[in-house]
């Protein structure tokens, strides 16, 4: 293959055409897959909400606006950028069973994003699930799967604060760290404490004044999958 | 492949064994070490690489007379990056679980030197059919190597295969095998085994493998 020496116009046009075609292809695949990717993410979150609040049959998205929790549909106008979301879960009779709270923070390698269920009446964490993490496979990633570790969060007191211990927990606010994954376990506990500091007071206030009207009628509430 | 000229078949087969990207050329070791902590991850990485390499080789080979030499590498990279983005987003849409496991490594296929290497060394100098045969062969060799690594590391490191537990509760997993050192150990031992097999075959040329032994008649 002995191509003649190419002039600058030809080189620029080759790269220009290649760039244009690449741009079209990338934007095309982005548009084609965007909906599906967002749906996957929403489905994963949805499933997680009902796992951390296992007595919930229905949930509603709440937004923190001016220190008050309002259903997301009402707050839709005037929403600016990052919003603090929390999900309220209701059982079949419409009674609120708790809140699912998304939280994130630094883990051993990258940000850990998790979702936990909180019951304001009993002031306890009732479930926790890691949504996203890049913890070390085989060690740190046990925070996702280790049954004994996850069982710590089924009935965990949040007061005075969640504590990490390295032996069998004796108090109901203690979590038994995973051996070999102390940093990841500590990260989960720290994320929970930070989120509790941010949310619990507000949720307790909201809990004292239950939202008016049955949540089933409210727009933005969805049933269990 | 019976209808194709012998050359295509040759190009297909060489990537599997004689010029295996991982075990012989020692290219693309970064993904081979990083994502093979389970069989399914190895397989998924192999499949994504196969898609990118075959697509890129076909396109580069078809357009080889239209790409001016001084800008060829840039053009190859644009082509490869486009295929990688397509693979990345498709995987995220169709297999979110696998995508989550492989994380950034799908996007990093762009800089897998096996792929750019094949464009420069082969696809840009050969007809599309032969280039695709070469790309498929290299991809299959790469995928097979990643699968082998993934199988070994998952069995020893997690006591399971494709997520199915093999030994029950009586097996204590060798956690180190699914950590980075386990990747190096496994690759090192397999490289040793490959080198041994090659040397051994050179000394005893008349074996079943005679057909692919080095120095064969053209």
Taking one residue from A and the other from B, the number of pairs with CB-CB distance under 8 angstroms is 76
Of A3, A18, A19, the CB nearest to B65: A3
Name the residue facing A26 among B66, B85, B100 (closest C-beta): B85
Please indicate, yes or no, if residue B216 is contained in any of the structural domains.
no
Q: Is any Cβ of chain A less than 8 angstroms from the Cβ of B169? A: no
Contact criterion met (CB < 8 Å) for B173 and A22:
no
The residue of chain B nearest to residue A136, with distances taken between CA atoms, is: B179
The pair phi, psi for residue A212, each rounded to 5°, is -75, 145
A33 touches chain B (CB under 8 A): yes
Structure tokens at A157: 């007191």
Q: Quote the longest CA-to-CA distance of chain A.
A: 82
Segment B144-160 shows an average pLDDT of 92
Which alpha helices (DSSP H) does A56-117 contain, by range? 72-75
**Span B198-216, average pLDDT:** 57
* Distance, CA of A127 to CA of A125 (rounded, Å): 6
Summarised one tens digit per residue, pLDDT across range A148-167 is 899 989 889 888 889 999 88
Q: Report how many domains make up chain B.
A: 1
β-strands A68-71, A124-132: how paired? unpaired
CA atoms within 13 A on the CB side of B189: 10
pLDDT value for B49: 94
Average pLDDT, chain B: 85
Q: Which of A6, A17, A18 to mutate to test the interface with B (most CBs of B within 10 A)?
A: A18
Across the interface, which of A14, A41, A137 has its CB nearest the CB of B37? A137
C-alpha closest to that of B156 among B131, B129, B181, B133: B181
Residues A158, A118 contacting (CB under 8 angstroms): yes
Domain assignment present for residue B217? The answer is no
Q: Is residue B215 part of a domain?
A: no
pLDDT score for B129: 92
Report phi then psi at A54, rounded to 5.
Answer: -75, -10
For residue A43, what is the nearest residue in chain B, using CA coordinates? B96
Whether B218 is in a domain gets the answer no
Distance CA B27, CA A202 (A): 56
Residues in chain A where the model's pLDDT stays below 70? 1-4, 66-67, 73-83, 206-225
How many whole angstroms separate alpha carbon B52 and alpha carbon A99? Answer: 44
Tell whether B178 is within 8 A of chain A (Cβ): yes
pLDDT score of A62: 85
Does residue B1 lie within any of the structural domains? no
The pLDDT score that the predictor gives to residue A58 is 86
| Shortest distance, CA A40 to any CA of chain B (angstroms) | 7
For residue B105, the chain A residues in CB contact (below 8 A) are: none
* Beta bridge mates, A65: A68
Structure tokens at B108: 């990093």
Does residue A210 come out as left (phi exceeding 0), alpha (psi in the -120 to 50 range) or beta?
A: beta
Interchain pair A15, B100: CB under 8 A = no
User: Which pTM was predicted?
Assistant: 0.76
Minimal Cβ distance to A15: which of B71, B82, B100: B71
- The tally of CA atoms less than 13 A away on the side-chain side of residue B172 is 0
Q: Is position B76 within any domain?
A: yes
Closest residue to B178, CB basis, from A11, A44, A137: A137
Asked whether the beta carbons of residue B82 and residue A10 sit closer than 8 angstroms, the reply is no
Burial class (CB in 10 A: 0-12, 13-18, 19+), B158: buried
Among chain B residues, CA nearest to A24: B82
Task: Give the length of chain B.
Answer: 218
Q: Using DSSP, state whether A106 is helix, strand or coil.
A: strand
Domain of residue B42, residue span: 6-208
pLDDT tens digits, A62-108: 887 766 777 876 555 544 445 678 898 888 888 888 899 999 999 88
């Amino acid at each position: 293959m002995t191509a003649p020496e190419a002039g600058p116009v030809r080189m620029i046009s080759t790269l220009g055409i290649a760039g244009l075609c690449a741009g079209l292809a990338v934007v095309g695949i982005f548009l084609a897959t965007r909906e599906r990717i967002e749906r996957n993410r929403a489905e994963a979150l949805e499933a997680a909400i009902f796992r951390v609040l296992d007595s919930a049959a229905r949930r509603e998205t709440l937004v923190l606006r001016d220190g008050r929790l309002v259903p997301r549909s009402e707050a839709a106008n005037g929403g600016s950028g990052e919003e603090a979301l929390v999900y309220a879960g209701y059982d079949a009779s419409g009674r609120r069973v708790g809140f699912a709270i998304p939280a994130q923070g630094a883990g051993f390698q990258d940000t850990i994003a998790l979702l936990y269920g909180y019951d304001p009446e009993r002031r306890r964490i009732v479930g926790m699930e890691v949504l996203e993490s890049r913890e070390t496979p085989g060690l740190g990633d046990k925070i996702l799967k280790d049954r004994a570790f996850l069982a710590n969060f089924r009935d965990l007191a949040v007061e005075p604060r969640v504590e990490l211990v390295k032996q069998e927990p004796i108090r109901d606010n203690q979590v038994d760290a995973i051996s070999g994954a102390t940093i990841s376990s500590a990260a989960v506990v720290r994320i929970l404490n930070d989120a509790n500091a941010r949310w619990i007071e507000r949720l307790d206030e909201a809990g004292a004044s239950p939202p008016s009207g049955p949540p089933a009628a409210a727009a933005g509430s969805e049933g269990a999958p | 492949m019976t209808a194709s000229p012998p050359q295509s078949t040759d190009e297909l087969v060489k990537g599997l064994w004689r010029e295996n990207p991982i075990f012989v050329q020692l290219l693309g070791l970064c993904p081979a070490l990083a994502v093979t902590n389970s069989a399914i991850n190895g397989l998924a990485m192999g499949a994504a690489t196969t898609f990118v390499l075959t697509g890129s080789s076909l396109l580069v080979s078809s357009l080889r007379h239209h790409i001016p030499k001084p800008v060829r590498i840039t053009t190859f990279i644009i082509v490869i990056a486009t295929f990688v983005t397509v693979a990345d987003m498709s995987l995220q849409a169709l297999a979110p679980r696998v995508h989550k496991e492989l994380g950034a490594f799908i996007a990093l296929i762009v800089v897998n030197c096996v792929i750019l290497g094949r464009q420069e060394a082969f696809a840009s100098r050969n007809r599309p059919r032969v280039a695709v045969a070469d790309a498929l062969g290299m991809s299959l060799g790469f995928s097979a190597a990643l699968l082998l690594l993934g199988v070994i590391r998952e069995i020893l490191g997690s006591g399971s295969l494709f997520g199915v537990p093999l030994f029950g509760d009586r097996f204590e997993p060798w956690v180190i095998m699914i950590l980075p050192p386990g990747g190096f150990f496994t690759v090192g031992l397999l490289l040793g085994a490959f080198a041994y097999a090659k040397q051994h075959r050179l000394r005893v040329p008349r074996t079943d493998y005679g057909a692919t032994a080095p120095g064969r008649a053209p």
